[in-house]
Structure formats: C-alpha cells, structure tokens
A and B are shown apart, each in its own frame.
Chain A
C-alpha cells in the first residue's frame, strides 16, 4: 500500500533531497505535496488530504504545533511525524504533545525514514534515540505526589525500552533482546507516547505553558 505524504520544511534543498531518496525506494511512499511555512502547509494539507505529514519543527509563521492544531478538528486529519536537526527538548516535546506521533532527526537514513513514515501511517509511535532521551529526561526525577500515576510515571519496562531506543537499537533488535514481539515493543512505545501527550507532569506542563500551547 502506498503512503501519501506531504513534506513541510522551509528548506527547498532539503525537501528535494528527501523526495529523491524516498522516490529511490520505489513506490512505497508517494509525495503528494510540499510546503515551506505554516499557512501554505495548512492549505496544502486541506487540498491534498495526505495520510502522513513529515513536519519540520521550526517553520516561518509559527511552528509545527500550529500546523497540527489548525487541522486537528478537520474530518480525518493526517498523522504527523516531526523531523528536525537538533532542537531543544521543549520544542520537540511541544510538537509531540500537540499531536505528532513521533520525532526523528534529519540525520536518519532513507530506509529508516521510510520505515518510520509507514509506522506512523499504521498508527504506531516512532521514537528516535533523541526523543527517547528527551522523554526519559522529562519523566525522570521524583515528583512527590503524581496527580495521575497511570500517566505521570513510566513503567520499568517502558523505561527499559526507551533506554534501548536511546542506545540506538531498532524495534526488532529490542524485541529480540527482551524476548518480546515487535508488536509488544510498539505497544510499549505507543503507551509512552500517550503518556507524553496526556500527562500532567509539571515539567511537561511548564514547557507547554512557556510555549503558550495549553
């Protein structure tokens, strides 16, 4: 099945590079549109109704969270995968909390990027080593009374999976290391994503507040 993709990045050269690399992988991913800033991205998404949007964290005219917020209430909104060079934890987590299903860095290679796009398309979460590190950071340290332990704490297994992602292991390698199925790893990661998006942990809230997102 082909994934219909829109590329949103303010560097034309980078968009051209990603387009060429994904095309070289052969029809798995079809690029149906491109945009370079918040307004044109929202217009492009409404015009083409893609499955997945590859979204740069920093955009002229706002940022990735604005794009996600603008189309969130549309009928059948696309899924978002954030992509950037090397951003602050706050920015990345803000994008994920706004609704992106994962975050990868621009240093990712073409095959991994295609796999990540397909994973997001299937409704799973995609954690790059960097995002795993950010999440471990955000959820580390003691909070005296978590307002919702279900959401404010990571389980030991989730932490283990995140550490392995941060160490550079692919889902498949993590599965065989922990003697689990890839599906189980995916569900752990999705659970972490859900906590990241819904948790009221003060760090996350503080970051979001600072960015005027809540």
Chain B
C-alpha cells in the first residue's frame, strides 16, 4: 500500500491546468500530460472516481519546482507507457462498471472513444525526428485519433438529442469545429512552445554574450596583468580594484566618483589604462553627452581597443579621439605599433569580435578595424544616438 501511495505521490508540476497533479504524474511516468488528463477525465465520469483520485493525489503532493527531470524517453518507450496507462484506465473502468459506478454505456463508450482519440492525437509527441515512415505512422494515428474523436462526439450528441431540429446544423458545426480544434491544438501548442523555446534561447545567448564580454574585459584582463607582474603589492592592487569593480557590477552599486559624462568616462579610462599598462593614452574628446547605455557601450569598446593596443601593438602611445553630438557618438583608437592581419586572429579570441564589434553592433552601430602589419592599427566606432 505504502508503495502505491509513494508511486502516486507527485511533485506538482508548474505546467499545470488545475493543481499540476496530472502533469506531475506525466513527468514521473514519462508520458504526455494530456494522456493522463484524458484518463483522469474519463474516470471522473465513472462515478467521480477520477476526482477522488485527483484530490487525493493533490493532498499527498509536494509543491515546488519539479525535481531533476527524467531524460526524455525515446518515442517508442513513451508510447508503450501511454498504452500501459490506457490499459490500466480500462481495467479501472471495468471494475467501476462491475460495482455500479457507471452512468451507462451510452455515455461511457463515446466518452472513452473521445478520451482515446485525444490521447492518440496528443501523444504524437514533437520530439522525434520526422522520417518518411514516421510520417506515415503519424498520419495513420492522426486519422485513427480523429475518427475515434469524431465518432465519440457524434454519438454523444445524438444521444443527448440536442441536435434534433433547429439545433442540428449549429450542433454539427460545433462538433466539426470542436473536433478540428482538438486535432489542431497539439500542433499549435507545439509550435507556440517551440517559438517560446527559441526566444528564451536567444535571450539566454544574448545574456551569456554580454556576461562573457564583461568578464573578458574585467576579470580576464586582471588575471593576465597579474600573471605579468612579479611585484606582490602591485598584484594586490590589481586584485583589489578588480574585486571592487566586479562587486559593483554584480550588485549594481556604483561608488562615488563614477563618471557621469562621456568625456569624464573617457578621461578616467585613459588614466586607468596608463596606470595598468606601459603606454601613453592621448585622449581627446570633442563635445560631450551624458553617460547613457550607448555611451557606456562605446566607452567599454574603446577601453577594449586601447587595452588591445597596450598589450599587442608594442607602441609607445595610443590616440583616442571621441566626438559626440546629439545624433551620433564616434570614437577612433589609433596606434602606430606593429599592426596585424585581422584574418590571422584566431576565432576564439573574444576581444575584437565580442567586446568591440559585437558590443557596437548590438546598439545598431558600426565598428571598423584597419590594421597594416608594421604600420599600426586604427579602430573606428560609430554609434547612433536614440533621439530623446
């Protein structure tokens, strides 16, 4: 008994219609939630047995996020389990019929047909790869499902007699639409779910890219700097500053003295990079704008370009020129160092592709990199400003 209770105890799923019990079971058994729902619904007609089971399970259930989801089963296994669920339901129904929990064959047979039809259509599953033989099987199942469904609905409707007379045509239309809706719902649902999944994946990817760009500019740079110095005090300084910065970024706190204008931010950047690297940063800013998102991204991209120059160009000086007005922010970062062939930069180097180009392109701007081996490098950035 205890084992049975345990088997029935579910973690209520967040994918819920009522209390999440059916989908909880579905998740546990690795079957389609709709199949479980159909079974419960059918049992409900049998003297309310379904409701009793459902409420009992809900009372025993534990709330909260589903535990580690079981890996999705192969289509064949799922199908077998759903079949088993169907037989179990049929067995329960036979028992109900014997003990008298039965509204009559006239209702229960069509209802069973409907439940079976729904189950067959819904359990098509969306995960298996479409193959030709798969499509044929699928088609057969859809047809069988829809026929069962239609037969059930029509015989129910005939039995209730509501379709006689005036209501006949309206009822027929309702039956057809209802049948079509049930038939189309799983596909529509799958399509919506897939769109949703893609959107979520895109958002995750964007967030991951932003996070990677930030970590590359801050933490990774600091680690490289620390590897290059043997002075313990300097190492500690770098580490402390990085810690402060990361903390501020993580918790969204900006400490006093944070620049609020583009001009101030570029000046601060020049000072900071001169302190960290053995290079002179000549920063010239024409015009000024408040430090909004566009300006912040520009500053971050400029910082990355200047750090690249400091680390790779082998130049004494890097010139930064920023010009800002209401419609556009422009920045040029130029060194007369050793230069490189952009085609030679390995794809896994995030500096240029993500921290500079990606950052600017996400804002609808343009980033252009010109480098001549032996003669230096210039990075040109342009970001349009949203009209205020």
Contacts and interface: CB of A to CB of B under 8 A. Distances in A.
Secondary structure type dominating chain B contacts = strand
Interface of A: 105, 107, 109, 129-130, 132-133, 136-137, 140, 163, 166-169
A107 B316 CA distance: 10
Contacts of B332: 167-168
Given A133-B321, A167-B321, A140 B280 contact: no
Given A109-B316, A167-B334, A167-B378, A129 B321 contact: yes
A67 to B, nearest CB: 26
B118 to A, nearest CB: 69
Contact of A168 (B285, B287, B319): B319
Nearest to B274: A107
B317 interface: yes
Given A107-B280, A107-B282, A129-B282, A166 B321 contact: yes
Given A107-B280, A129-B321, A163-B321, A137 B334 contact: no
A131 to B, nearest CB: 9
B286 interface: yes
A168 B313 CA distance: 15
A169 B321 CA distance: 11
Contacts of B245: none
Contacts of A140: 286-287, 325
B285 A133 contact: yes
B284 A130 contact: yes
B323 interface: yes
Contacts of A169: 334
Given A167-B332, A167-B334, A129 B319 contact: yes
Contact of A129 (B284, B325, B336): B284
Contacts of A167: 319, 321, 332, 334, 378
Contacts of B334: 167-169
A214 B161 CA distance: 105
Nearest to B335: A168
Given A163-B323, A167-B321, A168-B321, A136 B286 contact: yes
Contact of A136 (B316, B323, B336, B378): B323
Contact of A130 (B282, B318, B325): B282
11 contacts: A107-B280, A107-B317, A132-B284, A133-B321, A137-B287, A163-B321, A163-B323, A166-B286, A166-B319, A168-B282, A168-B318
B126 to A, nearest CB: 56
B201 to A, nearest CB: 41
Interface string B304-339: 000000000000111101010100000010101000
Given A132-B284, A133-B286, A137-B286, 10 more contacts: A105-B282, A107-B280, A107-B282, A107-B317, A109-B316, A140-B287, A140-B325, A166-B319, A167-B334, A169-B334
Contacts of A166: 284, 286, 319, 321
Nearest to B319: A168
Contacts of A163: 321, 323
B127 to A, nearest CB: 56
A132 B322 CA distance: 12
Contacts of B286: 133, 136-137, 140, 166
Nearest to A173: B336
Nearest to B270: A86
Nearest to B271: A86
